[in-house]
Structure 1
Amino acid sequence: MLWFKNAIVYQLNKDNLFDTQAITNAVNACPFVPCGNTDSMRSGWVSPFGESQDNPLVLDNNGQMLLRLKKEIKILPSSVIKQALAEKVTQQEQLFNRKLKKAEKLSLKDEVYIDLLPRAFSKYQFFWLWIDTVNKRVIVDSSSFKQAEDILALLRKEMGTLALTPYASDTPLEKTLTKWVKESLSFPPIILGDEIELKDAVEDSIVVKCKNQEINSQEIFVHIDSGKQISKLKLLDERGMSFILNRDYTLKRIKFDNAILDKNEDFLPEESNAKLEADFMLMISQLTDTFKSMQKIIEEIITV
């Protein structure tokens, strides 16, 4: 399903420009190829429209580009490797009539792993990537910075360079969110949700998590007054979505309202490609509005 569940936002450095043709060429140069007999993992681009060879690998609508990455991981349980290794060690020790050295066992472990790979099961993961050439940013649908960096590395490999930095501001977001809640500031259409996480400003391991909680309540103010700062906060965009904003500026658990999800339900089954493109434009319109509002709110809170 297209609709992003997470958003890690990267901003392109000002001295660089997006080239849609260069991005398309880079994607076309790295299509997904299944793992070979000796591969433990492979990743590559597949079409957003489906994995048919007739579908393009890039959806480009006036500089708004949608990519989809497929990742194959070979699954080899450690218990299977351990059992196969034990059998091979026993065979070798009987053959040589002596105990094997540690280095020899490590070498056998590599051999066992390579022998088992062709018979291993495959696990597949898919990741969406939205490239906004208008606002010079990249948004990855991933909950992990490491995973996002691995995805971007595939683009950098072919493009040579892609100078991106995760979105951030000079003021730590914990202070901004804490001020927002503590001073009961109001910024419609973005409103406070009912979920919050606070961490001690000195001891990061001291964490308070609250769900189904009135955010502007005395209970939350007590934690703030004791030195804790907000590290996660659920927010609602009354235009059609909710999300958890983390102190590293990532958005997680994004949920779009049914009123948004159902807008393009009139498409016929044979119009699936057109529906995907319409859904994409609808989604990025919503996310763009939310990003713009959040950026303005953060700037306003910092200057208050």
Structure 2
Amino acid sequence: MWFKNLHLYRLHEVQLLSPEQMAMALTDHAAKPLGTADARRLGWTAPAGRLGGGQLLHTVQNDGHRLISALRQERMLPASVIKEEVDEQVADIEAREGRKVTRKEKMALKEQVTEALLPRAFTRSQKIDLWWDTERNLIGVNTPSRSRAEDVLDLLRETLGSLKATPLSSQTLPIRAMTTWLGDPATRPADLQIGDSVVLKAKGDDGVLRGRQVDLDSDEMQQLLESGRQASQMAMAIEGQLSFVLHDDLALKSLRFGDALIEEADHADDGDDALARLETDFVLMAGSLRDNVARLIEWLDGENQQEPASTKSEAQS
């Protein structure tokens, strides 16, 4: 269950439900099968799947960590399939009636075709895990997509009645810090290790340069920085703890936890119980994320405490 990606959010004015109250609220918004007319649906699902007995919430009582999972279901109906069917019907009408089909008629046909084809479309499901550090008022969503993370927060907001959350931000912008660390090794924190991939963004219209499996301390890299390019993504590691690609919006992607932590999880006595294994992994992972997110924010000169006036994540229902 180890997270691969992390979009981080700061919670404000939190009114925390007890684990029992939250479990009941999650049940009221649990995932249900897609109806024949549904294009997509989002609801809560058991993080451990069927092996977890349907348990929707896992908690680490002493440390305040909570784990929940959303199930996103979506019918796969390619636009090209709809267009082909609409075009055929338009051609048939024009041939039979000897007239041009209007734009308004085409839009109505498109709605009819979509409604007719949806029940036969394949369904794609995606589970999205959410880690909630209730002691630090921090949420992390395990998805590579910011919009998917926002969708899960919207579901949590609907479930709890209200939720005021803003993307976690730092005093020093990640793009500025990464560019500084890349250009001047002396500025790097003692336990920061530079990786071997980077995305460099130009200030003008020169696009981006992507480098993988490259020496980020090479002369060529220094020349690119001197030309005015900035590092918008960079692979790095917190020595022995966690490796990731830091993005300019403070998202962490391609997460890999330290070997020592994985070995500790592997040697845990869970008696081959899948539920116990998930909870062991979560305890270790959540503790590592709490410590290392705090360390990263410290590298970026602390958290930006100024609360934005209005964002999607702040809205309350």
TM-score w.r.t. length of structure 2:
0.85
**Given residue 17 of structure 2, which amino acid in structure 1 is its aligned partner?**
D
Q: CA shift at 1:154, angstroms?
A: 0.5
The residue aligned with 1:237 is 238
Q: CA shift at 1:156, angstroms?
A: 1.0
2:172, 2:300 within 8 Å by CA — same for their partners in 1?
A: no
Q: CA shift at 1:98, angstroms?
A: 4.0
Aligned-partner Cα distance in 1 for 2:118–2:45: 24
Q: CA shift at 1:270, angstroms?
A: 4.7
Q: CA shift at 1:244, angstroms?
A: 0.3
Tell me, what secondary structure is at the counterpart of 1:6? coil
Q: CA shift at 1:132, angstroms?
A: 0.7
2:130, 2:139 within 8 Å by CA — same for their partners in 1?
A: yes
**Given residue 194 of structure 1, which amino acid in structure 2 is its aligned partner?**
D
2:171, 2:301 within 8 Å by CA — same for their partners in 1?
A: no
Aligned-partner Cα distance in 1 for 2:237–2:110: 52
**Given residue 180 of structure 1, which amino acid in structure 2 is its aligned partner?**
W
CA 1:212–1:92 in structure 2 vs 1: closer, same or farther (change >3 Å)?
closer
Q: CA shift at 1:147, angstroms?
A: 1.0
The residue aligned with 1:112 is 113
Q: CA shift at 1:56, angstroms?
A: 1.4
**Given residue 274 of structure 2, which amino acid in structure 1 is its aligned partner?**
S
The residue aligned with 1:283 is 285
The residue aligned with 1:10 is 9
Tell me, what secondary structure is at the counterpart of 1:248? coil
The residue aligned with 1:292 is 294
Number of equivalences = 297
The residue aligned with 2:17 is 19
1:23-49 Cα shifts (integer Å, max 9, x gaps): 434322210011101101011110112
Structure 1 runs not aligned, ≥5 long: none
Tell me, what secondary structure is at the counterpart of 2:300? helix
Deviates more, 1:287-296 or 1:267-276: 267-276
Aligned-partner Cα distance in 1 for 2:218–2:87: 60
1:240, 1:256 within 8 Å by CA — same for their partners in 2?
A: yes
CA 1:11–1:92 in structure 2 vs 1: closer, same or farther (change >3 Å)?
same
CA 1:206–1:107 in structure 2 vs 1: closer, same or farther (change >3 Å)?
closer
Q: How does 1:90-239 map to 2 (within 5 A)?
A: 90-93=91-94, 96=97, 98-184=99-185, 185-200=187-202, 202-203=203-204, 205-239=206-240
The residue aligned with 2:248 is 247
Tell me, what secondary structure is at the counterpart of 2:2? coil
Aligned-partner Cα distance in 1 for 2:92–2:217: 68
CA 1:105–1:16 in structure 2 vs 1: closer, same or farther (change >3 Å)?
same
Tell me, what secondary structure is at the counterpart of 1:153? helix
User: Is 2:81 the counterpart of 1:83?
Assistant: no
1:33-77 Cα shifts (integer Å, max 9, x gaps): 111011010111101121469321111111211111111111112
Q: CA shift at 1:149, angstroms?
A: 0.6
Q: CA shift at 1:150, angstroms?
A: 0.7
2:11, 2:137 within 8 Å by CA — same for their partners in 1?
A: yes
User: Is 2:274 the counterpart of 1:272?
Assistant: yes
Aligned-partner Cα distance in 2 for 1:119–1:148: 28
Aligned-partner Cα distance in 1 for 2:26–2:87: 43
Aligned-partner Cα distance in 1 for 2:295–2:273: 33
1:23, 1:155 within 8 Å by CA — same for their partners in 2?
A: no
Aligned-partner Cα distance in 2 for 1:4–1:218: 35
**Given residue 193 of structure 2, which amino acid in structure 1 is its aligned partner?**
I
1:17, 1:136 within 8 Å by CA — same for their partners in 2?
A: no
Q: CA shift at 1:247, angstroms?
A: 1.1
**Given residue 191 of structure 1, which amino acid in structure 2 is its aligned partner?**
Q
CA 1:209–1:77 in structure 2 vs 1: closer, same or farther (change >3 Å)?
closer
1:190, 1:293 within 8 Å by CA — same for their partners in 2?
A: no
The residue aligned with 2:307 is none
Aligned-partner Cα distance in 1 for 2:97–2:177: 68
Aligned-partner Cα distance in 2 for 1:204–1:170: 27
CA 1:79–1:298 in structure 2 vs 1: closer, same or farther (change >3 Å)?
closer
CA 1:230–1:204 in structure 2 vs 1: closer, same or farther (change >3 Å)?
farther
**Given residue 65 of structure 1, which amino acid in structure 2 is its aligned partner?**
R
